[in-house]
């Protein structure tokens, strides 16, 4: 009885088959004919340089980047027939004949039938390969039977294994031999924890001696799992939550790590004791706490980081996490975080200013460069809000003495300002000194800052054209305003200057730094102050008369 068509094995598609289909080949006449036919049939379409590009790509020995996503590849190369092997002397295969000695980046993602063993057969014939992507192959790392090295490369420096069935670092270390690996991506693998070794559950309880021996064997196996040169590790789009558990794996397996991506996980807030945060803010070294047995020892892996990405962790909702990052990452230069969960009631501009002031070492925040002027403005706002919070706390404590303790309700997490005294001392010539002529930002008290703000009448030309008496209308004026001025009072001032009714005023602002590309932030709540919106010294307030058409 003949077998059904569905039972036939799928055809073998090799790496070179996909390369020829995607990039063409020197003897690919069909592609030339199809392009020539298209050019002849429809003169409206001109494939400028199409034939030359196809011809250039067909020179596989010159390709430096090859992307073969979802091409159905299931084998590295076709096995030559006996006759072909005899005629060729039994020496070369189709990949060797292609002579792809310039290839540096290869993407084989979404080829779900491809095994790591087949990839391992391919890599030795690509002597300059530095980057290998094997994403969205769910069973790639799920090897049955005894685990042996499937992929070995002495020159590979970046390996991307997103959604590949990764379970433990020991599993990965047993399958790949890449001594020069510097960048490793393990995104979207549904990781709840970063395990070095997964210990199988015992078949029986066993004796205490057997349990100790088993733990020793696991510890010895874990000690052999090391990627000594990896500096960049990505664990994004997983379900990690425990900072300590992550550190237990990283500190042993990735001793050279300096860049860590934890985007879109379920990380808990990282909250350190207030006394320790205060000591760190005062400039006290925390050497003892970082040593073995110290309270900060589980987080020692964060100390050498220069990049930390925490974006899209909606579980991070306490600003004390930012204070912990400042203490635990003294060399941090690049930081990424989502403002909406950390400071849900603040606008993006104010949230960014808070993070900039709280992390004095960063130079890049959420892909935006932190300029010197932005840092100054951010620290001034931090001081103002910190002093105001201190005053409110004192008033609250005074009122609490007269309130029944049983009626007290646990307040939500409050925003902390542990650096307020340090920054106040740093900017004492600006914040606390007597007002001087020519100052760009000065205070007449300890709770607010005087700001130099430019009011720009956006459609003032329309007002001037409406009446002949307004021909001398000035569309730009500079005013000294306190940071505690409410938007409602600002609208009253604008009414006196530009003769616009408050109900018709539409206000927005941006910083006066011409070197920064930024969108205008609307001032849409009349009850809030300029300081709340993060209006900085030198800012431009745009005034639009909504009644004009």
Q: What is the pLDDT of residues 15-33, one digit of tens each?
A: 999 998 888 776 655 544 4
- Residue 49's pLDDT is 58
Choose among 315, 373, 313: nearest CA to 510: 373
Q: How far apart are CA 216 and CA 30, in angstroms?
A: 63
- Give the DSSP H or E segment for 335: strand 334-336
Predicted confidence (pLDDT) at residue 218 exceeds the cutoff of 60: no
Angle at 355 between CA 298 and CA 299, to 5 degrees: 5
Q: How far apart are CA 446 and CA 483, in angstroms?
A: 12
Report which of residues 6 and 146 the model is more confident about. Answer: 146
In 64-164, at which residue ranges do the beta strands (DSSP E only) sit? 65-67, 105-107, 131-133, 151-152, 158-160
Helix (H, G, I), strand (E, B) or coil at 177: strand
Choose among 416, 238, 413, 414: nearest CA to 313: 238
Choose among 490, 536, 497, 491: nearest CA to 513: 536
322-335 residue pLDDT tens = 999 999 999 999 99
Q: Read off the pTM.
A: 0.75
Helix (H, G, I), strand (E, B) or coil at 152: strand
Choose among 128, 67, 61: nearest CA to 97: 61
In contact, 77 and 15? CB cutoff 8 Å = yes
Burial annotation 370-404 (CB, 10 A radius, 16+ → b, else e): beebbbbbbbbbbbbbbbbeeeeeeeeeeeeeeee
Choose among 155, 163, 16: nearest CA to 92: 16
* Per-residue DSSP letter, 75: B
- Which domains are assigned to the chain? 448-549 (3.10.20.90)
Burial annotation 325-355 (CB, 10 A radius, 16+ → b, else e): bbbbbeebbbbbbbbeebbeebbebbbbbbb
496-510 residue pLDDT tens = 988 899 999 999 998
- Residue 53's pLDDT is 60
Choose among 314, 419, 400: nearest CA to 358: 419
CB burial class (10 A; 0-12, 13-18, 19+) of residue 311?
Answer: middle
Q: How confident is the model at residue 529 (pLDDT cuts 50, 70, 90)?
A: confident
Average pLDDT, the chain: 81
In contact, 141 and 115? CB cutoff 8 Å = no
* 4-22 average pLDDT score: 81
266-316 residue pLDDT tens = 999 999 999 999 999 998 888 888 888 888 999 999 999 999 999 999 999
Report which of residues 404 and 451 the model is more confident about. Answer: 451
Q: How confident is the model at residue 433 (pLDDT cuts 50, 70, 90)?
A: very low
Tokens of 494: 């604008």
Tokens of 220: 């010895």
88-112 residue pLDDT tens = 555 678 888 888 999 999 999 999 9
In contact, 152 and 180? CB cutoff 8 Å = no
Backbone φ and ψ for 271, nearest 5 degrees, come out as -115, 120
Count of CB atoms within 10 A of residue 512's CB?
16
Predicted confidence (pLDDT) at residue 5 exceeds the cutoff of 60: no
- Residue 213's pLDDT is 40
Highest mean pLDDT among 258-267, 346-355, 528-537: 258-267
* 518-529 average pLDDT score: 85
- Residue 250's pLDDT is 95
* Per-residue DSSP letter, 237: S
Give the 3-state secondary structure of 10-46: CCCCEHHHHHHHHHCCCCCHHHHHHHHHHHHHCCCCC
Total residue length of the chain: 549
Angle at 198 between CA 295 and CA 177, to 5 degrees: 100
Partners of 541 in the β-ladder: 455, 509
Q: Locate tokens 């192959």: which residue?
A: 137
> 102: which residues sit within 8 A by CB, 6+ positions away?
61, 62, 63, 64, 128
Q: How far apart are CA 220 and CA 340, in angstroms?
A: 44
End-to-end CA distance of the chain: 83
């Amino acid at each position: 009885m003949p077998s059904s068509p569905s039972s036939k094995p799928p055809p073998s598609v090799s790496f070179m088959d996909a390369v020829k289909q995607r990039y063409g080949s020197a003897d690919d006449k069909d592609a030339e004919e199809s392009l020539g036919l298209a050019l002849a049939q429809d003169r409206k379409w001109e494939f400028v340089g199409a034939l030359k590009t196809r011809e250039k790509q067909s020179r596989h020995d010159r390709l430096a980047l090859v992307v073969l996503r979802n091409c159905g590849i299931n084998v590295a190369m076709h096995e030559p027939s006996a006759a072909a092997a005899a005629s060729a002397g039994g020496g070369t295969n189709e990949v060797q004949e292609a002579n792809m000695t310039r290839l540096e980046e290869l993407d084989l993602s979404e080829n779900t039938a491809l095994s790591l063993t087949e990839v391992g057969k391919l890599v030795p014939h690509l002597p300059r390969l530095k980057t290998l992507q094997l994403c969205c192959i769910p069973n790639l790392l799920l090897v049955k039977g005894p685990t042996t090295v499937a992929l070995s490369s002495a020159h590979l420096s970046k390996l991307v294994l997103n959604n590949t069935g990764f379970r433990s670092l020991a599993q990965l270390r047993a399958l790949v031999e890449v001594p020069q690996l510097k960048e490793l991506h393990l995104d979207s693998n549904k990781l709840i924890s970063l395990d070095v070794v997964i210990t199988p559950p015992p078949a029986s309880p066993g004796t205490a001696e057997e349990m100790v021996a088993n733990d020793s064997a696991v510890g010895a196996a874990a000690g052999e799992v090391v990627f000594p040169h990896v500096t960049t590790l990505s664990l994004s789009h997983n379900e990690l939550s425990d900072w300590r558990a992550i550190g237990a794996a990283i500190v042993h397996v990735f001793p050279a790590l300096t860049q860590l991506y934890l985007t879109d996980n379920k990380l808990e807030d990282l909250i350190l004791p207030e006394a320790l945060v205060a000591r760190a803010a005062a400039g006290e070294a925390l050497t003892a706490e970082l040593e073995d047995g110290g309270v900060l020892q589980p987080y020692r892996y964060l100390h050498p980081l220069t990049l930390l990405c925490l974006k899209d962790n909606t579980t991070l909702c306490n600003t004390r996490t930012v204070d912990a990052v400042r203490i635990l990452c003294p060399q941090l230069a690049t930081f990424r975080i989502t403002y909406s969960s950390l400071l849900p009631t603040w606008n993006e501009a104010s949230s960014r200013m808070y993070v900039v002031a709280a992390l004095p070492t960063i130079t890049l925040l959420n892909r935006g460069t932190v300029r010197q002027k932005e840092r100054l403005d951010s620290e001034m706002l931090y001081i103002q809000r910190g002093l105001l919070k201190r005053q409110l706390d004192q008033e609250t404590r005074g009122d609490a003495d007269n309130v029944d303790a049983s009626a007290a309700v646990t307040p939500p997490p409050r925003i902390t300002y542990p650096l307020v005294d340090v920054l106040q001392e740093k900017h004492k010539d600006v914040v606390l000194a007597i007002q001087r002529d020519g100052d760009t930002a000065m205070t007449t008290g300890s709770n607010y800052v005087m700001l130099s703000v430019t009011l720009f009448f956006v459609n003032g030309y329309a007002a001037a054209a409406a009446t002949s008496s307004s021909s001398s209308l000035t569309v730009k004026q500079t005013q000294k305003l306190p940071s505690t001025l409410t938007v409602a009072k600002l609208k009253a001032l604008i009414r006196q200057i530009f003769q616009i009714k408050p109900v018709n005023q539409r206000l927005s602002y941006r910083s006066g730094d011409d070197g920064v590309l930024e969108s205008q932030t609307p001032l849409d709540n009349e009850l809030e102050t300029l300081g709340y919106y993060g209006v900085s010294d030198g800012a431009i307030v745009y005034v639009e008369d909504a009644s004009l058409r």
